[in-house]
Amino acid sequence: MTNAVDCIVIGAGMAGISAAKQLGKKGLKVLLLEARDRIGGRINTIQPGPQGPPIELGAQWIHGLCPEHPMYTIIPENERRIDTQRINMFDKHGTLIPEHVVTSAWNAVDALSSRMTEHAKKTITLPPPKQSIAAFINEDLEWNSCASKTEHCTRETPCAECDVKYSLVKSIANIEAATLNELSVEEYAGDGFEGDDGVPLKGYLHVLNGLLADLKDATVLLNAQVLSVDYSGDTAVVNCTSGEFHARNIICTIPLGVLKETGGPEFIPQIPGPHQKAISNLGFGLLNKVVLEFESGFWPSNVDDFAFELRRDAFGLDPMFAFIVNFSQLYARRDEPQNTLVVYVAHDDAKWMEGLSDGDIRELILPQLTCAFRSETEPIVKSMVVTRWMADPFSRGSYSHLSTGSSLSDMDALATPISFGTEKKGTLVFAGEHTIRQHFATVHGAYLSGIRAAEQIA
C-alpha cells in the first residue's frame, strides 16, 4: 500500500465508513485509520451463539424510522422490526405498577415533552446558557399539578400516580444519557425524522459490514491510532501507531468524548477557535448496558421493556432508574428460549456503576429481578457482559447531547470545513454523530455526517 492517498478518514465507525463509501463514488482513493482492532466504534454487535438474537453493546435502535430515513432503504424491510414498546414498570419495592397508572404517567411525560419542544423552538435563537430540563420541569405548572387532584399531594410526598410520573421522567435522562440538570431544553428543538423506533434484526454490525463490502478503492487499517495530524503544508501528514501517511484531505470522526478529554490527536496547527469552543461546549453523556444471559427466562415473555427503580441501600444511595430490555421479544424470536435481559443505566448512575466489579453489579441487580418477577427458584446466570463506555479510551462515553452551555450552532461550527495549503486546496473536516444538528447522538446521524463530509472534499 502506498502511503499517499486522496483522503484519510480517521475512525471506522458509521461516520467513517459512510464517508469512505461516498468518497469512493467520487473516484477518490481512501485510507481509513482505526485505533481499535475492530470496525464499528460505538456499533458493537456480539452474537453469543448460533441461536438467539444479536446483542448490541452499543447502538441498538433505529430512531424515527420513516421513508426519508437512510436506514429505511439500507436495511431491507424483512431485516428490521418496529419496537412495540409494551412496558411493565416496577416500583422500588419490586411491585408491578398497574398499567393504567403507567399509561397516564407516560401521557404526562409526552405532554411535558411537547411543551419543552414548543419552548425550545421559541428560544432557539437565544445564546447559551440555556434553561436546563430540570429547571423547565420545576417551573412547569401543569407538570407540578396533580392530575387526580389528590389531597396533600406534593413534590416531596407525591400521591401514588404522581410518584410514578416523577419516576418515569427519569427515562429522559436515561435516553439522553445525561442528567436533567445537564441537559438543555434545546435537546427538544431538533427536527429529526418522525417515525417509530425499530431494530435491525441482524444487528447493526451486519448493516455496517454491508456498507463496507461496497467500498471502492478504500483500505481499512486496524490498530492504527492517530497521534498527530500536521496540516501546515499543502499535504497533510498523519502519524499513527502503524506509520506515517499523507493525504490532501482529512475527515476526522473521532468521538466527541475523546476530543473533549484529550483534544484528540495533536493538530498542527491547532484547529480554529470556533471548533475548539464547540468541542468544549457540547455535552457527551454515558449509557451502559449489563447483558444477562440466563439458563431460562423467568419474566413475562410478551413484554418488550421493563422499567425499574433499582435499590442501592447497600451502598447508602438512592434508587437508580434502569430500563431492562427483553431481547428475545424485541427481536421477535418467540420460538426460541427467552433467556436474555439487557439492563440500561445512564449518566451519573452509569459512571458510579463503572467503578463496581461485575460480581457487585450482578449482586445489585439479580435479587431485585428475582423478587419483581416472583421467580420461585434462584435464576442461573449463564453469561454476563458489562459495558464501560466511559473507561474506553476510544469513546470516553456514549453519545453527545446539548448541555446548557451549548447550542445547535456548536454542531454547525464543528462541521465547518477547514481549508489548508498555499492554495487552500486541502480540507480537514470533522464528521460523526456530534456534528449533525438534526440527528445527533444517532447511527443515522453519523451516517449522514459522513456523506456530508465527503461532499465537502474537493
Ligand X SMILES: Cc1cc2nc3c(=O)[nH]c(=O)nc-3n(C[C@H](O)[C@H](O)[C@H](O)COP(=O)(O)OP(=O)(O)OC[C@H]3O[C@@H](n4cnc5c(N)ncnc54)[C@H](O)[C@@H]3O)c2cc1C
* Interface ranges with ligand X (CB under 6 A): 10-16, 33-36, 41-43, 58-61, 63, 225-226, 253-255, 258, 265, 287, 289, 389, 394-395, 398-399, 432-433, 441-443, 446
The Cα 130–Cα 120 span in angstroms is: 9
Minimum distance, C-beta of residue 168 to ligand X, in the bound complex (Å):
19
Q: What DSSP character marks residue 187?
A: G
Least spacing, CB of residue 56 vs ligand X, in Å:
7
Which CB, 294 or 447, lies closer to ligand X?
447
Residue 8 CA to residue 20 CA, distance in Å, equals: 9
Residue 108 backbone phi and psi in degrees, to 5:
-65, -40
Q: Which is nearer to ligand X, 43 or 108 (CB)?
A: 43
Closest-CA residue to 324 (of 361, 285, 282, 292): 292
The smaller minimum CB distance to ligand X, of residues 94 and 255, is found at 255
Smallest gap from Cβ 369 to ligand X, in A, equals: 20
d(CA 99, CA 418): 54
Least distance in Å: CB of 211 to ligand X? 11
Total number of residues shown for the chain: 458
Nearest distance from C-beta of residue 58 to ligand X, angstroms: 4
Nearer to ligand X, 137 or 207 (CB): 207
Q: Least separation, in Å, of the C-beta of 91 and ligand X?
A: 26
Q: How far apart are CA 124 and CA 188, in angstroms?
A: 10
- In the complex with ligand X, the residue whose CB is nearer, 139 or 197, is 197
From residue 336, give the alpha-carbon distance in Å to each of 245, 296, 327, 329. 49, 11, 11, 10
State how far the Cα of 287 lies from the Cα of 401, in Å rounded to an integer.
12
| Cβ-based nearer residue to ligand X, 40 or 297 | 40
Residue closer to ligand X by CB (options 265, 297) is 265
Measured from the Cβ of residue 128, the count of other Cβ atoms closer than 10 Å reads 15
Helix axes 99-123, 160-168, angle to 10 degrees: 50
Shortest distance (Å) from residue 19 CB to ligand X: 9
Residues 223-235 as b or e (16 or more Cβ within 10 Å = b):
ebbbeebbbeeee
